[in-house]
Amino acid sequence: MAKTLHVKTYGCQMNVYDSARMADVLAPHGYTPSEVPEGADLIILNTCHIREKATEKVYSELGRLRLLKEAAARDGRQVLIGVAGCVAQAEGEEIVRRAPTVDLVFGPQTYHRLPELVARATERGTSGGSGVVDTDFPVESKFDHLPEENGAHGPAAFLSVQEGCDKFCTFCVVPYTRGAEFSRPVDAIEAEANRLVAGGAMEITLLGQNVNAYHGAGPDGRVWGLGALLRRLAEIEGLKRLRYTTSHPRDVDDALIAAHRDVDTVMPYLHLPVQSGADRVLAAMNRKHTADDYRRVVDRLRAARSDLAFSSDFIVGFPGETDADFVETLRLVREIGYAQAYSFKYSARPGTPAAVLNDQIPEDVKADRLEALQQLLNAQQLAFNQASVGGVQAVLFERRGRREGQLVGRGPWMQAVHVQAPERLLGRQLLVRIDDGRANSLAGTVVTGEMPRIDRELSSNAERAIA
Ligand code: SAH
Ligand code: SF4
Ligand code: F3S
Protein backbone atom coordinates (compact mmCIF):
# COMPACT_ATOMS: atom_id res chain seq x y z
CA MET A 1 0.00 0.00 0.00
CA ALA A 2 1.23 3.50 -0.78
CA LYS A 3 2.49 5.27 2.31
CA THR A 4 4.24 8.54 2.98
CA LEU A 5 7.40 9.25 4.89
CA HIS A 6 8.50 12.52 6.43
CA VAL A 7 12.11 12.87 7.60
CA LYS A 8 13.16 15.94 9.55
CA THR A 9 16.91 16.41 9.65
CA TYR A 10 18.99 18.11 12.35
CA GLY A 11 22.76 18.52 12.65
CA CYS A 12 25.49 18.05 10.09
CA GLN A 13 25.59 17.15 6.38
CA MET A 14 26.14 13.52 7.24
CA ASN A 15 22.66 13.51 8.67
CA VAL A 16 21.36 15.12 5.48
CA TYR A 17 22.98 12.29 3.52
CA ASP A 18 21.62 9.64 5.91
CA SER A 19 18.10 11.05 5.71
CA ALA A 20 18.13 10.75 1.92
CA ARG A 21 19.38 7.18 2.23
CA MET A 22 16.62 6.29 4.71
CA ALA A 23 14.12 7.34 2.06
CA ASP A 24 15.99 5.12 -0.45
CA VAL A 25 15.76 2.14 1.94
CA LEU A 26 12.03 2.60 2.42
CA ALA A 27 11.09 3.39 -1.18
CA PRO A 28 10.84 -0.28 -2.27
CA HIS A 29 8.51 -0.80 0.71
CA GLY A 30 5.97 1.64 -0.65
CA TYR A 31 7.02 4.86 1.11
CA THR A 32 7.14 8.09 -0.86
CA PRO A 33 8.71 11.16 0.73
CA SER A 34 6.59 14.04 1.99
CA GLU A 35 7.80 17.56 2.78
CA VAL A 36 5.47 17.91 5.76
CA PRO A 37 4.67 15.73 8.78
CA GLU A 38 0.92 16.26 8.43
CA GLY A 39 -0.60 13.22 6.76
CA ALA A 40 2.63 11.17 6.83
CA ASP A 41 2.41 7.52 7.93
CA LEU A 42 5.97 7.43 9.21
CA ILE A 43 7.76 10.43 10.69
CA ILE A 44 11.47 10.18 11.40
CA LEU A 45 13.48 12.76 13.30
CA ASN A 46 17.13 12.39 12.29
CA THR A 47 18.76 13.99 15.28
CA CYS A 48 21.95 15.70 16.47
CA HIS A 49 23.51 15.38 19.91
CA ILE A 50 26.42 17.76 19.52
CA ARG A 51 25.20 20.45 21.97
CA GLU A 52 22.53 20.38 24.64
CA LYS A 53 20.29 22.71 22.66
CA ALA A 54 20.31 20.36 19.66
CA THR A 55 19.12 17.49 21.84
CA GLU A 56 16.40 19.49 23.57
CA LYS A 57 14.93 20.52 20.22
CA VAL A 58 14.16 16.88 19.54
CA TYR A 59 12.10 16.43 22.69
CA SER A 60 10.05 19.55 22.03
CA GLU A 61 9.40 18.38 18.46
CA LEU A 62 8.29 15.00 19.82
CA GLY A 63 5.73 16.80 21.96
CA ARG A 64 4.22 18.36 18.84
CA LEU A 65 4.28 15.09 16.92
CA ARG A 66 2.46 13.30 19.73
CA LEU A 67 -0.56 15.54 19.14
CA LEU A 68 -0.44 14.82 15.41
CA LYS A 69 -0.28 11.10 16.08
CA GLU A 70 -3.19 11.21 18.54
CA ALA A 71 -5.33 13.16 16.11
CA ALA A 72 -4.60 10.60 13.37
CA ALA A 73 -5.46 7.74 15.76
CA ARG A 74 -8.85 9.35 16.40
CA ASP A 75 -9.41 9.09 12.62
CA GLY A 76 -8.38 5.43 12.74
CA ARG A 77 -5.03 6.06 11.03
CA GLN A 78 -1.76 4.72 12.42
CA VAL A 79 1.22 7.08 12.46
CA LEU A 80 4.66 5.77 13.43
CA ILE A 81 7.26 8.05 14.98
CA GLY A 82 10.93 7.20 14.77
CA VAL A 83 14.00 8.83 16.28
CA ALA A 84 17.23 8.31 14.34
CA GLY A 85 20.73 9.78 14.37
CA CYS A 86 23.02 10.79 17.18
CA VAL A 87 20.48 11.40 19.97
CA ALA A 88 19.04 7.98 19.22
CA GLN A 89 22.49 6.43 19.48
CA ALA A 90 23.38 8.28 22.68
CA GLU A 91 20.10 7.90 24.55
CA GLY A 92 18.55 4.72 23.13
CA GLU A 93 15.96 3.27 25.55
CA GLU A 94 15.85 6.56 27.47
CA ILE A 95 13.99 8.12 24.53
CA VAL A 96 11.07 5.70 24.66
CA ARG A 97 10.92 6.12 28.44
CA ARG A 98 10.87 9.90 28.22
CA ALA A 99 8.65 10.02 25.13
CA PRO A 100 6.47 6.87 24.99
CA THR A 101 4.92 8.16 21.78
CA VAL A 102 8.10 7.07 19.98
CA ASP A 103 7.68 3.76 18.12
CA LEU A 104 11.22 3.17 16.95
CA VAL A 105 14.71 4.34 17.82
CA PHE A 106 17.71 3.51 15.63
CA GLY A 107 21.27 4.75 15.33
CA PRO A 108 23.29 6.05 12.38
CA GLN A 109 24.76 2.61 11.66
CA THR A 110 21.55 0.54 11.61
CA TYR A 111 19.15 2.31 9.27
CA HIS A 112 19.68 -0.29 6.54
CA ARG A 113 17.50 -2.45 8.84
CA LEU A 114 14.64 0.06 8.69
CA PRO A 115 12.10 -2.16 6.87
CA GLU A 116 12.33 -4.77 9.61
CA LEU A 117 12.26 -2.16 12.39
CA VAL A 118 9.22 -0.51 10.85
CA ALA A 119 7.44 -3.86 10.59
CA ARG A 120 8.09 -4.56 14.26
CA ALA A 121 7.00 -1.06 15.25
CA THR A 122 3.80 -1.38 13.23
CA GLU A 123 2.99 -4.50 15.20
CA ARG A 124 3.65 -2.83 18.52
CA GLY A 125 1.35 0.00 17.42
CA THR A 126 -1.53 -2.46 17.18
CA SER A 127 -0.61 -4.73 20.10
CA GLY A 128 0.88 -2.22 22.57
CA GLY A 129 4.26 -2.63 24.24
CA SER A 130 7.28 -0.39 24.21
CA GLY A 131 9.10 1.08 21.22
CA VAL A 132 11.61 -0.83 19.13
CA VAL A 133 15.22 0.17 19.83
CA ASP A 134 18.24 -0.70 17.65
CA THR A 135 21.43 1.14 18.53
CA ASP A 136 23.90 -1.55 17.54
CA PHE A 137 27.22 -0.95 15.92
CA PRO A 138 26.75 -3.95 13.61
CA VAL A 139 29.69 -5.84 12.14
CA GLU A 140 28.19 -5.47 8.70
CA SER A 141 28.48 -2.02 7.14
CA LYS A 142 25.20 -0.34 6.28
CA PHE A 143 26.78 0.75 2.99
CA ASP A 144 26.87 -2.88 1.85
CA HIS A 145 23.13 -3.16 2.44
CA LEU A 146 21.76 0.15 1.21
CA PRO A 147 19.99 0.20 -2.15
CA GLU A 148 21.23 2.51 -4.90
CA GLU A 149 20.29 6.15 -4.32
CA ASN A 150 17.09 7.32 -5.95
CA GLY A 151 18.80 10.26 -7.57
CA ALA A 152 16.61 12.91 -5.97
CA HIS A 153 19.36 15.46 -5.53
CA GLY A 154 20.08 18.87 -7.01
CA PRO A 155 23.15 19.95 -8.96
CA ALA A 156 25.17 19.81 -5.72
CA ALA A 157 25.14 16.40 -4.03
CA PHE A 158 26.59 14.84 -0.90
CA LEU A 159 28.48 11.55 -0.79
CA SER A 160 29.58 9.92 2.49
CA VAL A 161 33.03 8.41 2.11
CA GLN A 162 34.08 8.08 5.72
CA GLU A 163 32.26 7.78 9.00
CA GLY A 164 32.99 7.88 12.67
CA CYS A 165 35.92 9.31 14.54
CA ASP A 166 38.83 7.95 16.56
CA LYS A 167 40.10 11.33 17.72
CA PHE A 168 38.18 11.63 21.00
CA CYS A 169 38.33 15.37 21.50
CA THR A 170 37.29 15.70 25.13
CA PHE A 171 34.23 17.86 24.42
CA CYS A 172 32.76 15.79 21.60
CA VAL A 173 30.09 13.08 21.41
CA VAL A 174 30.77 12.02 17.83
CA PRO A 175 33.15 9.10 18.58
CA TYR A 176 30.41 7.67 20.81
CA THR A 177 27.43 8.34 18.56
CA ARG A 178 28.99 7.45 15.21
CA GLY A 179 31.47 4.87 16.36
CA ALA A 180 34.95 4.04 15.13
CA GLU A 181 36.44 5.39 11.93
CA PHE A 182 35.43 3.56 8.80
CA SER A 183 36.27 4.31 5.15
CA ARG A 184 34.31 3.06 2.17
CA PRO A 185 36.26 1.42 -0.66
CA VAL A 186 37.26 3.64 -3.58
CA ASP A 187 35.29 1.59 -6.13
CA ALA A 188 32.02 1.94 -4.25
CA ILE A 189 32.53 5.70 -3.90
CA GLU A 190 33.42 6.07 -7.56
CA ALA A 191 30.33 4.11 -8.62
CA GLU A 192 28.10 6.30 -6.44
CA ALA A 193 29.76 9.47 -7.76
CA ASN A 194 29.19 8.29 -11.33
CA ARG A 195 25.51 7.72 -10.58
CA LEU A 196 25.20 11.15 -8.97
CA VAL A 197 26.75 12.83 -12.00
CA ALA A 198 24.60 10.79 -14.39
CA GLY A 199 21.63 12.05 -12.34
CA GLY A 200 22.63 15.67 -12.89
CA ALA A 201 25.08 16.47 -10.09
CA MET A 202 27.84 18.88 -11.10
CA GLU A 203 29.26 19.30 -7.64
CA ILE A 204 29.93 16.56 -5.08
CA THR A 205 30.86 17.16 -1.47
CA LEU A 206 32.59 14.18 0.08
CA LEU A 207 31.47 13.75 3.65
CA GLY A 208 32.99 12.31 6.78
CA GLN A 209 33.10 13.26 10.44
CA ASN A 210 36.83 13.19 9.92
CA VAL A 211 36.90 13.08 6.14
CA ASN A 212 40.62 13.56 5.60
CA ALA A 213 41.37 10.57 7.81
CA TYR A 214 39.95 8.68 4.82
CA HIS A 215 41.89 5.47 4.18
CA GLY A 216 39.82 3.27 1.91
CA ALA A 217 40.70 0.16 -0.04
CA GLY A 218 41.87 1.21 -3.51
CA PRO A 219 41.26 -0.69 -6.73
CA ASP A 220 44.98 -1.58 -6.76
CA GLY A 221 44.71 -3.39 -3.44
CA ARG A 222 46.43 -0.59 -1.53
CA VAL A 223 45.02 1.84 0.98
CA TRP A 224 44.18 5.20 -0.60
CA GLY A 225 44.07 8.54 1.17
CA LEU A 226 41.76 11.46 0.43
CA GLY A 227 44.24 13.11 -1.97
CA ALA A 228 44.27 10.04 -4.22
CA LEU A 229 40.49 9.70 -3.99
CA LEU A 230 39.98 13.33 -5.07
CA ARG A 231 42.28 12.86 -8.07
CA ARG A 232 40.35 9.77 -9.11
CA LEU A 233 36.93 11.40 -8.81
CA ALA A 234 38.12 14.52 -10.64
CA GLU A 235 38.38 12.37 -13.76
CA ILE A 236 34.62 11.82 -13.89
CA GLU A 237 33.26 13.46 -17.01
CA GLY A 238 30.74 16.15 -16.21
CA LEU A 239 31.78 16.57 -12.59
CA LYS A 240 32.80 20.22 -12.26
CA ARG A 241 33.40 20.67 -8.56
CA LEU A 242 34.65 18.64 -5.64
CA ARG A 243 34.54 19.64 -1.98
CA TYR A 244 35.05 17.70 1.23
CA THR A 245 34.12 18.23 4.83
CA THR A 246 34.95 18.05 7.75
CA SER A 247 38.69 17.90 7.97
CA HIS A 248 40.99 17.63 10.93
CA PRO A 249 44.21 19.70 10.87
CA ARG A 250 46.23 16.64 11.99
CA ASP A 251 45.22 14.62 8.93
CA VAL A 252 46.17 17.12 6.23
CA ASP A 253 48.93 15.20 4.45
CA ASP A 254 51.21 15.99 1.50
CA ALA A 255 49.00 14.14 -0.99
CA LEU A 256 45.97 16.19 0.03
CA ILE A 257 47.90 19.45 -0.24
CA ALA A 258 49.14 18.38 -3.67
CA ALA A 259 45.56 17.67 -4.76
CA HIS A 260 44.67 21.27 -3.90
CA ARG A 261 47.63 22.39 -6.00
CA ASP A 262 47.01 20.19 -9.04
CA VAL A 263 43.31 19.46 -9.32
CA ASP A 264 41.21 22.39 -10.54
CA THR A 265 37.99 20.58 -9.74
CA VAL A 266 38.84 20.74 -6.03
CA MET A 267 37.26 24.01 -4.94
CA PRO A 268 39.40 26.69 -3.27
CA TYR A 269 37.52 26.64 0.02
CA LEU A 270 38.31 24.51 3.03
CA HIS A 271 36.49 24.06 6.33
CA LEU A 272 39.32 23.30 8.73
CA PRO A 273 38.20 23.57 12.35
CA VAL A 274 40.75 24.71 14.92
CA GLN A 275 38.45 25.16 17.98
CA SER A 276 40.88 27.37 19.95
CA GLY A 277 44.06 29.38 19.46
CA ALA A 278 45.53 28.54 22.88
CA ASP A 279 47.82 25.53 23.19
CA ARG A 280 46.78 24.92 26.81
CA VAL A 281 43.15 24.65 25.74
CA LEU A 282 43.95 22.59 22.63
CA ALA A 283 45.83 20.12 24.84
CA ALA A 284 42.93 19.91 27.30
CA MET A 285 40.62 19.35 24.33
CA ASN A 286 42.88 16.49 23.17
CA ARG A 287 43.00 18.07 19.72
CA LYS A 288 46.44 16.59 19.06
CA HIS A 289 47.72 19.79 17.42
CA THR A 290 49.01 23.16 18.59
CA ALA A 291 48.04 26.57 17.27
CA ASP A 292 51.37 26.73 15.41
CA ASP A 293 50.76 23.31 13.83
CA TYR A 294 47.53 24.76 12.50
CA ARG A 295 49.25 27.91 11.21
CA ARG A 296 51.79 25.74 9.39
CA VAL A 297 49.12 23.60 7.77
CA VAL A 298 47.28 26.70 6.57
CA ASP A 299 50.54 28.16 5.22
CA ARG A 300 51.34 24.98 3.31
CA LEU A 301 47.86 24.81 1.84
CA ARG A 302 48.04 28.45 0.79
CA ALA A 303 51.44 27.89 -0.75
CA ALA A 304 49.87 25.11 -2.82
CA ARG A 305 46.84 27.15 -3.84
CA SER A 306 47.06 30.86 -3.14
CA ASP A 307 43.36 31.62 -3.49
CA LEU A 308 42.32 29.00 -0.93
CA ALA A 309 39.84 30.46 1.58
CA PHE A 310 39.30 28.99 5.03
CA SER A 311 36.47 28.42 7.40
CA SER A 312 36.60 26.98 10.91
CA ASP A 313 34.71 25.97 14.04
CA PHE A 314 35.46 27.54 17.41
CA ILE A 315 34.43 26.65 20.92
CA VAL A 316 34.57 29.41 23.55
CA GLY A 317 34.42 28.81 27.28
CA PHE A 318 35.94 25.35 27.30
CA PRO A 319 36.57 24.39 30.98
CA GLY A 320 39.59 26.27 32.30
CA GLU A 321 39.78 28.73 29.38
CA THR A 322 41.23 32.00 30.70
CA ASP A 323 40.92 35.50 29.27
CA ALA A 324 44.51 35.14 28.06
CA ASP A 325 43.64 31.88 26.29
CA PHE A 326 40.71 33.55 24.61
CA VAL A 327 42.95 36.41 23.43
CA GLU A 328 45.12 33.75 21.77
CA THR A 329 42.07 32.59 19.84
CA LEU A 330 41.36 36.13 18.65
CA ARG A 331 44.99 36.49 17.64
CA LEU A 332 44.86 33.30 15.57
CA VAL A 333 41.67 34.45 13.85
CA ARG A 334 43.30 37.77 12.94
CA GLU A 335 46.33 35.97 11.53
CA ILE A 336 44.48 33.40 9.46
CA GLY A 337 41.66 35.59 8.13
CA TYR A 338 38.56 33.49 7.62
CA ALA A 339 36.05 33.69 4.78
CA GLN A 340 33.44 32.38 7.19
CA ALA A 341 33.28 30.44 10.47
CA TYR A 342 31.04 28.83 13.05
CA SER A 343 31.47 29.50 16.75
CA PHE A 344 29.78 27.97 19.76
CA LYS A 345 29.65 28.24 23.53
CA TYR A 346 31.05 25.11 25.10
CA SER A 347 28.20 22.75 26.00
CA ALA A 348 28.95 19.99 28.53
CA ARG A 349 27.90 16.67 27.03
CA PRO A 350 27.10 13.72 29.28
CA GLY A 351 29.70 10.97 29.03
CA THR A 352 32.48 13.14 27.55
CA PRO A 353 35.66 13.72 29.59
CA ALA A 354 35.41 17.55 29.56
CA ALA A 355 31.94 17.50 31.11
CA VAL A 356 33.41 16.50 34.49
CA LEU A 357 36.40 18.87 34.44
CA ASN A 358 36.65 21.49 37.15
CA ASP A 359 36.65 25.15 36.14
CA GLN A 360 33.50 25.08 34.05
CA ILE A 361 33.12 28.62 32.70
CA PRO A 362 30.10 30.71 33.76
CA GLU A 363 27.44 31.29 31.09
CA ASP A 364 27.88 35.08 31.03
CA VAL A 365 31.63 34.78 30.39
CA LYS A 366 30.96 32.34 27.55
CA ALA A 367 28.37 34.72 26.11
CA ASP A 368 30.78 37.69 26.23
CA ARG A 369 33.56 35.72 24.55
CA LEU A 370 31.23 34.39 21.89
CA GLU A 371 30.07 37.90 21.08
CA ALA A 372 33.61 39.25 20.80
CA LEU A 373 34.68 36.34 18.58
CA GLN A 374 31.63 36.58 16.37
CA GLN A 375 32.15 40.30 15.89
CA LEU A 376 35.62 39.63 14.58
CA LEU A 377 34.55 36.69 12.41
CA ASN A 378 31.61 38.61 10.98
CA ALA A 379 33.87 41.52 10.10
CA GLN A 380 36.24 39.15 8.31
CA GLN A 381 33.38 37.54 6.43
CA LEU A 382 32.02 40.90 5.32
CA ALA A 383 35.49 42.00 4.21
CA PHE A 384 35.92 38.77 2.25
CA ASN A 385 32.54 39.18 0.58
CA GLN A 386 33.15 42.83 -0.26
CA ALA A 387 36.51 42.00 -1.79
CA SER A 388 34.65 39.79 -4.26
CA VAL A 389 32.80 42.79 -5.68
CA GLY A 390 33.81 43.65 -9.24
CA GLY A 391 35.22 40.18 -9.84
CA VAL A 392 33.74 37.39 -11.94
CA GLN A 393 33.10 33.94 -10.47
CA ALA A 394 31.70 30.66 -11.68
CA VAL A 395 28.38 30.13 -9.94
CA LEU A 396 26.48 26.86 -9.84
CA PHE A 397 22.77 27.67 -9.61
CA GLU A 398 21.11 25.40 -7.10
CA ARG A 399 17.69 26.80 -6.25
CA ARG A 400 15.11 29.52 -6.65
CA GLY A 401 15.51 32.58 -4.47
CA ARG A 402 12.83 34.11 -2.27
CA ARG A 403 12.24 36.95 -4.67
CA GLU A 404 10.42 36.65 -7.99
CA GLY A 405 12.83 35.72 -10.79
CA GLN A 406 15.74 35.19 -8.45
CA LEU A 407 18.15 32.25 -8.49
CA VAL A 408 20.64 31.32 -5.80
CA GLY A 409 23.88 29.52 -6.41
CA ARG A 410 27.29 29.08 -4.89
CA GLY A 411 30.59 30.47 -6.03
CA PRO A 412 33.87 28.59 -5.65
CA TRP A 413 34.34 30.03 -2.14
CA MET A 414 30.96 28.77 -0.90
CA GLN A 415 29.28 32.13 -0.66
CA ALA A 416 25.62 32.16 -1.66
CA VAL A 417 25.26 34.28 -4.81
CA HIS A 418 21.90 35.84 -5.71
CA VAL A 419 21.06 36.84 -9.28
CA GLN A 420 18.01 37.78 -11.31
CA ALA A 421 17.96 35.11 -13.99
CA PRO A 422 15.56 32.84 -15.87
CA GLU A 423 14.67 29.57 -14.22
CA ARG A 424 16.10 27.49 -17.07
CA LEU A 425 19.55 28.33 -15.73
CA LEU A 426 18.94 26.21 -12.62
CA GLY A 427 21.44 23.38 -12.43
CA ARG A 428 23.97 25.17 -14.62
CA GLN A 429 27.28 26.78 -13.88
CA LEU A 430 27.69 30.28 -15.28
CA LEU A 431 29.95 33.28 -14.93
CA VAL A 432 28.60 35.97 -12.66
CA ARG A 433 29.95 39.44 -12.07
CA ILE A 434 29.68 40.25 -8.38
CA ASP A 435 27.95 43.60 -7.78
CA ASP A 436 27.38 43.54 -4.06
CA GLY A 437 29.01 41.87 -1.04
CA ARG A 438 26.83 41.55 2.05
CA ALA A 439 27.26 39.97 5.48
CA ASN A 440 26.12 36.49 4.42
CA SER A 441 25.86 36.52 0.66
CA LEU A 442 26.78 38.10 -2.66
CA ALA A 443 24.61 39.55 -5.41
CA GLY A 444 25.60 39.62 -9.06
CA THR A 445 24.74 39.52 -12.75
CA VAL A 446 25.18 36.69 -15.22
CA VAL A 447 27.79 37.89 -17.72
CA THR A 448 28.32 35.15 -20.26
CA GLY A 449 27.48 31.64 -21.37
CA GLU A 450 28.11 28.44 -19.55
CA MET A 451 31.70 27.70 -18.63
CA PRO A 452 33.18 24.27 -18.93
CA ARG A 453 35.48 24.44 -15.95
CA ILE A 454 36.73 26.69 -13.22
CA ASP A 455 39.34 29.11 -14.38
CA ARG A 456 41.90 30.05 -11.82
CA GLU A 457 42.31 33.59 -13.10
CA LEU A 458 38.84 34.25 -11.82
CA SER A 459 40.08 33.87 -8.29
CA SER A 460 42.35 36.87 -8.17
CA ASN A 461 39.78 38.95 -6.35
CA ALA A 462 39.32 36.56 -3.50
CA GLU A 463 43.07 36.24 -3.37
CA ARG A 464 43.29 39.93 -2.61
CA ALA A 465 40.68 39.48 0.09
CA ILE A 466 42.77 37.06 2.08
CA ALA A 467 46.19 38.53 1.38
N1 SAH B 1 34.43 16.46 12.99
C2 SAH B 1 34.43 17.84 13.01
C3 SAH B 1 33.24 18.50 13.65
C4 SAH B 1 32.39 17.80 14.59
S5 SAH B 1 31.11 18.65 15.38
C6 SAH B 1 35.72 18.32 13.64
O7 SAH B 1 36.49 17.56 14.15
O8 SAH B 1 35.95 19.49 13.63
C9 SAH B 1 31.05 20.26 14.72
C10 SAH B 1 31.52 21.31 15.65
O11 SAH B 1 30.70 21.39 16.80
C12 SAH B 1 32.91 21.09 16.21
O13 SAH B 1 33.90 21.46 15.32
C14 SAH B 1 32.90 21.95 17.44
O15 SAH B 1 33.30 23.25 17.18
C16 SAH B 1 31.43 21.95 17.84
N17 SAH B 1 31.22 21.17 19.07
C18 SAH B 1 31.41 19.85 19.23
N19 SAH B 1 31.15 19.50 20.50
C20 SAH B 1 30.80 20.64 21.16
C21 SAH B 1 30.43 20.92 22.51
N22 SAH B 1 30.40 19.98 23.44
N23 SAH B 1 30.11 22.20 22.82
C24 SAH B 1 30.16 23.18 21.86
N25 SAH B 1 30.51 22.96 20.59
C26 SAH B 1 30.82 21.70 20.24
FE1 SF4 C 1 34.56 15.32 17.45
FE2 SF4 C 1 37.16 15.80 17.57
FE3 SF4 C 1 36.26 13.74 16.17
FE4 SF4 C 1 35.82 16.20 15.30
S5 SF4 C 1 37.83 15.22 15.54
S6 SF4 C 1 34.34 14.54 15.39
S7 SF4 C 1 35.54 17.31 17.18
S8 SF4 C 1 36.14 13.98 18.37
FE1 F3S D 1 25.32 16.12 15.24
FE2 F3S D 1 25.84 13.58 14.99
FE3 F3S D 1 26.46 15.25 13.05
S4 F3S D 1 26.00 14.77 16.83
S5 F3S D 1 26.90 17.13 14.14
S6 F3S D 1 24.45 14.78 13.76
S7 F3S D 1 27.63 13.50 13.71
Please tell me the number of the ligand nearest to residue 168's CA: 2
d(CA 285, CA 172) in angstroms, rounded, equals: 9
For ligand 1, atom 10, which residue shows the shortest CA distance?
Answer: 313
Residue 180 corresponds to which amino acid? A
**Shortest-distance atom of ligand 2 to CA 246:** 4
**Shortest-distance atom of ligand 2 to CA 173:** 1
CB of residue 246 inside a 6 A radius of ligand 1: yes
The 3-state DSSP class for residue 43 equals strand
For ligand 3, atom 3, which residue shows the shortest CA distance?
Answer: 12
Among the listed residues 251, 185, 252, 193, the one whose alpha carbon sits nearest the alpha carbon of residue 220:
185
Pocket test for ligand 2, best of 14, 182, 248, 251 (most atoms within 8 A of CB): 248
CA of 398 relative to ligand 2 center, distance in Å:
30
Note whether 412 and 268 are within 8 A (CB).
yes
CA of 352 relative to ligand 2 center, distance in Å:
12
Q: Say if residue 8 is exposed, middle or buried (CB neighbours under 10 Å; 0-12, 13-18, 19+).
A: middle
pLDDT, residue 130, reads: 77
CB of residue 366 inside a 6 A radius of ligand 1: no
Please tell me the number of the ligand nearest to residue 47's CA: 3
CB of residue 312 inside a 6 A radius of ligand 1: no
Residue 385 corresponds to which amino acid? N
Residue 49 corresponds to which amino acid? H
CA of 288 relative to ligand 2 center, distance in Å:
11
Residue 15 corresponds to which amino acid? N
Strand (E) positions, 225-381? 241-245, 269-271, 309-316, 340-345
**Shortest-distance atom of ligand 3 to CA 108:** 2
C-alpha distances in angstroms, 212 versus 141, 162, 166, 182, 292?
Answer: 20, 9, 12, 12, 20
Please tell me the number of the ligand nearest to residue 15's CA: 3
C-alpha distances in angstroms, 123 versus 117, 280, 319?
Answer: 10, 54, 47
Q: For residue range 33-45, what is the model confidence (pLDDT) as tens digits?
A: 999 999 999 999 9
Give the end-to-end CA distance of the chain in Å, rounded to a whole number: 60
In the chain (467 residues long), the average pLDDT of successive 10-residue segments reads: 93 94 94 95 97 92 95 94 96 93 94 93 74 84 82 86 96 96 96 94 96 97 98 97 98 98 97 98 98 98 97 98 98 98 97 96 98 98 97 96 95 97 94 96 84 46 40
Provide the H-helix boundaries in 245-362: 254-262, 279-284, 291-304, 323-336
**Shortest-distance atom of ligand 2 to CA 166:** 3
The fold of the 268-387 domain, in CATH, is Transcription Regulator spoIIAA (3.30.750)
pLDDT, residue 452, reads: 44
Among the listed residues 328, 340, 341, the one whose alpha carbon sits nearest the alpha carbon of residue 277:
328
The 3-state DSSP class for residue 318 equals coil
pLDDT, residue 143, reads: 85
Length of the chain: 467
**Shortest-distance atom of ligand 3 to CA 178:** 7
For ligand 1, atom 11, which residue shows the shortest CA distance?
Answer: 50
Nearest 5°: the CA angle 139, 141, 143 is 170
CB of residue 209 inside a 6 A radius of ligand 2: yes
Homologous superfamily, domain 388-465: Nucleic acid-binding proteins (2.40.50.140)
Q: Is the domain covering 3-134 a CATH 3.40.50.12160 domain? A: yes
Please tell me the number of the ligand nearest to residue 244's CA: 1
**C-alpha neighbours within 13 Å on the C-beta side of residue 36:** 3
Q: For residue range 284-322, what is the model confidence (pLDDT) as tens digits?
A: 999 999 999 999 999 999 999 999 999 999 999 999 999
pLDDT, residue 367, reads: 98
pLDDT, residue 125, reads: 66
What torsion do the CA atoms of 393, 198, 8, 74 make, to the nearest 10 degrees?
140
Q: CATH class for domain 152-267?
A: alpha beta
**Shortest-distance atom of ligand 1 to CA 313:** 15
pLDDT, residue 126, reads: 61
CA of 83 relative to ligand 1 center, distance in Å:
22
Beta bridge partners of 446: 432
CA of 394 relative to ligand 1 center, distance in Å:
31
pTM of the model: 0.93
The reply to whether 388-465 shares the fold of 3-134 is no
Q: Where in the chain are the domains?
A: 3-134, 152-267, 268-387, 388-465
For ligand 1, atom 5, which residue shows the shortest CA distance?
Answer: 50
pLDDT, residue 118, reads: 94
CB of residue 174 inside a 6 A radius of ligand 3: yes
